Amino acid sequence: MSAEAVKKSADASDSDEGCCEEWMLEEIARASSNALNASDFRMPLKVHNELFIAGQIDDSSVAEIHSQGIKSIFNLREAGEEGYTEPPQGLEASITKTHYPLPADGTWNDSSLDKLLAELDKCAKPSLVYCKTGPRAAAVAFAHLATRTRFNCGKLDGRNEFSPQAMSVLDKAVCGPDQSDCHMRSFVEEYVKKKVALADGRPGMVQLPGNVWTSGQLTEEEYKEVQKDLGIVCVLNMRPFSEAGEFGLGVLAREPEIIKELGMEYHALPVPKSGPYEPELIAKVGEMVRSLPRPLLIHCRTGRRVRDIVGNSGACDP
């Protein structure tokens, strides 16, 4: 983002304790790859404070799942797979269990992974993702962390080229030892690159008359900054929640909670991505904008919907 309000101080140093959450693809991939090398892949393996992965869990996994405080479990196995079983009966009833099957051969699509990562964004943490022996879980963990954990001193790290070391370790996590061409690895690599490019292409903050600001989707850290620096008291979201996961920032699925926890007022008026937009919709948006407290921030995914609709509504005319 170009506005100074959504940037951390340029004086911040990588060495400042607690300042930076580094995006370390090599470390993410290495942690994920341990799933295949672990002595018992039925035991949850921690790849992040809020995310564990495993192979097929069974009764022997229950005690470790409970000791790690896991609150959500995602089963990626297809019901027809050899040796498929449901999650063990001994798990606490309070643990949310979701069956989200993904093909073992990695023939996934962006939409299916978008939806799964959005569910991971909003679920109770920590969460556990498991498959048969670990590769699918490792691939999902890598995709989730590589798109969501991208801060360096509060600023998005735009790196979308992976080092050979990172990809080598990811190979070990998601590809068999005899696979020269691993579709799952290739898919995850391209998926992450696309999401990073989308996020890096967001427009800067734009101020309209009447103490109204517009933007693309912001991160949680950026919301804190605009609240502090611009005094924003209200946020209007024009993205349907069905878009959660599509952009790769991991915010939309839990945005209402984020905004309310920051003490700002939150409203959502979903608008389709593509126009032309009917006069009735434009008038409805204009009426809502006029009724909301200021300073007001209005956002969609990239800012285009806001510009097209709010600009034509006359709601911010001097």
Q: What is the pLDDT of residues 43-72, one digit of tens each?
A: 888 887 899 988 899 999 999 999 999 999
Q: What is the pLDDT of residues 206-232, one digit of tens each?
A: 999 999 999 999 999 899 999 999 999
DSSP calls for 164-222: HHHHHHHHHHHS-TT-SS-HHHHHHHHHHHHHHHHHHT----EEETTTEEEESPPPHHH
Whether the pLDDT of residue 11 is over 50: the answer is no
Between 24 and 192, the higher pLDDT residue: 192
If one counts the domains in the chain, the total is 2
pLDDT band at 121 (very low <50, low <70, confident <90, very high): very high
Do 154 and 216 fall into the same domain? no
Domain-located, residue 214: yes
Please tell me the distance from the alpha carbon of residue 224 to that of residue 6, in angstroms, as a whole number.
Answer: 8
pLDDT in the model for residue 228: 96
pLDDT band at 25 (very low <50, low <70, confident <90, very high): low
State the virtual CA torsion across 155, 158, 161, 167 in degrees, nearest 10.
40
pLDDT band at 126 (very low <50, low <70, confident <90, very high): very high
Do 38 and 166 fall into the same domain? yes
Domain boundary among 200, 222, 253: 200
Whether the pLDDT of residue 290 is over 70: the answer is yes
Domain boundary among 175, 200, 225: 200
Domain-located, residue 195: yes
Domain-located, residue 318: no
Please tell me the distance from the alpha carbon of residue 192 to that of residue 212, in angstroms, as a whole number.
Answer: 33
Please give the residue range of the domain that contains residue 286: 206-313
pLDDT in the model for residue 167: 63
pLDDT in the model for residue 26: 56
Q: What is the pLDDT of residues 231-266, one digit of tens each?
A: 999 999 999 999 999 988 899 999 999 999 999 999
Do 53 and 142 fall into the same domain? yes
Between 187 and 6, the higher pLDDT residue: 187
- 10 Å CB burial of residue 10 (0-12, 13-18, 19+) is exposed
Do 265 and 220 fall into the same domain? yes
Q: What is the pLDDT of residues 170-188, one digit of tens each?
A: 677 677 655 656 788 888 8
pLDDT in the model for residue 103: 93
- Contact assessment for residue 72 and residue 95, using Cβ atoms and an 8 Å cutoff: yes
Mean pLDDT confidence for 143-165 = 60
Between 85 and 34, the higher pLDDT residue: 85
Please state which of the ranges 14-18, 37-41, 117-121 shows the lowest mean pLDDT: 14-18
Q: By C-alpha distance, which of 228, 226, 221, 224 is closest to 206?
A: 226
pLDDT in the model for residue 226: 95
Q: Which residue has the tokens 């009735």?
A: 280
